[in-house]
Amino acid sequence: MLSESMPEGTRFIYRLAAIDLDGTLLGPDKTISPENRAAVDRLHKRGVKIIIASGRRHQNSIRFQRELDLTGPIIACQGGLIRDGITGQIVESHLLSEKLASEIVDLAESKSIPAIYYHLDHLFVSQMRNEWIDLYESRVGEKAEILPTLHELHGSEALKIVWYDNPPLLQSVRPNLTAKYKGQLDILSTEAENLEFMPLGISKASALAKVAATFSISPEETMAFGDGENDVPMLHWAGLGVAMNHGNPLAKAASKIVSPEGAPETAFARAVEVILR
């Protein structure tokens, strides 16, 4: 059952916290509110190791790690990449097969759907860009590199591929794509305007398990904070999964507690207040 409070008598045993960016740590304006920053500091003072776990690229997440004065690994691309934010050393990476990456690009082109190619070290789009790509770039605060065609990449080093287009169109094609690629890759939606194609079995949960093991921290000693469909696996995996009150129903269902009602830009802070109360 979802709750806006910790169970009575619960001890604070948590040593690791994985925090999503968009919709969790970041407000609608894509910045960290003073309240959320203070909440991160509160957890840190309680001895909690804090890591970012985002669908964004590693290179796009570093600035938030530095803003929060954090160190260590960043979980990026829905768990497809674990990379140290200070040294740049790759802890673990998972790529789509070249065949599948090329096929997803072909399918997008055949349906005139713009594709965003999350290369290990770059972010690419083709010249077939439109207002949907403009929307994507405005949301992540990053400009993609433009190629004449994504076929130039030959499917190489794709952490994930994202289709960005009209929500009804993407909703209509998702069931068939899910059936077509069952057992080959995972498909999820983090926003109404996208479909994300990920290596099979790779998620924020699989990456968080790797990071926790590195620090000899158990799932029971781990907290996860999120709001979206892509956060569901890690909210299930962590000993304490915490969803934002404005989040996806699937995220709420996967969590032990949800943040109390209030403004989305301070939902994370309200959740931390409940935990440390």
Kindly state whether residues 136 and 191 are assigned to the same domain: yes
- What is the Cα–Cα distance from 39 to 277, expressed in whole angstroms? 12
pLDDT in tens, 78-100: 999 999 999 999 999 999 999 99
- What is the Cα–Cα distance from 185 to 62, expressed in whole angstroms? 27
Kindly state whether residues 189 and 243 are assigned to the same domain: no
CATH number, position 181? 3.30.1240.10
Inter-residue contact 67 to 129 (CB < 8 Å): no
**Within-domain flag for 7:** no
Query: How many independent structural domains does the chain possess?
Result: 2
pTM of this structure: 0.94
- What is the Cα–Cα distance from 195 to 22, expressed in whole angstroms? 16
- What is the Cα–Cα distance from 225 to 12, expressed in whole angstroms? 16
- Rounded to the nearest integer, the mean pLDDT of the chain is 95
Map tokens 């890759």 to a residue: 185
**Within-domain flag for 165:** yes
Residue 31, C-beta contacts closer than 8 angstroms, at least 6 positions apart:
none
**Within-domain flag for 256:** yes
- Lowest mean pLDDT segment, chosen from 8-17, 127-136, 174-183: 8-17
Q: Distance from first CA to last CA of the chain, Å, rounded?
A: 20
Inter-residue contact 210 to 179 (CB < 8 Å): no
Q: Of the residues 178, 199, 220, which one is the last residue of a structural domain?
A: 199
* Token pair recorded at residue 12: 């604070």
Kindly state whether residues 228 and 209 are assigned to the same domain: yes
Say how far residue 28 (Cα) sits from the centre of its chain. Answer: 16
- What is the Cα–Cα distance from 142 to 186, expressed in whole angstroms? 25
**Within-domain flag for 143:** yes
**Within-domain flag for 156:** yes
**Within-domain flag for 3:** no
* Token pair recorded at residue 272: 């931390």
pLDDT in tens, 28-50: 999 999 999 999 999 999 999 99
Q: Of the residues 147, 176, 199, which one is the last residue of a structural domain?
A: 199
Kindly state whether residues 260 and 129 are assigned to the same domain: no
Inter-residue contact 82 to 75 (CB < 8 Å): yes
Q: Which domain holds residue 222?
A: 16-93+203-276
Map tokens 């994985």 to a residue: 18
Kindly state whether residues 21 and 81 are assigned to the same domain: yes
**Within-domain flag for 8:** no
Q: How many residues appear in the chain?
A: 277
Kindly state whether residues 75 and 208 are assigned to the same domain: yes
pLDDT band at 262 (very low <50, low <70, confident <90, very high): very high
**Within-domain flag for 1:** no
- What HEC string does 48-85 produce? CEEEEECCCCHHHHHHHHHHCCCCCEEEEHHHCEEEEC
CATH number, position 46? 3.40.50.1000
Kindly state whether residues 146 and 237 are assigned to the same domain: no
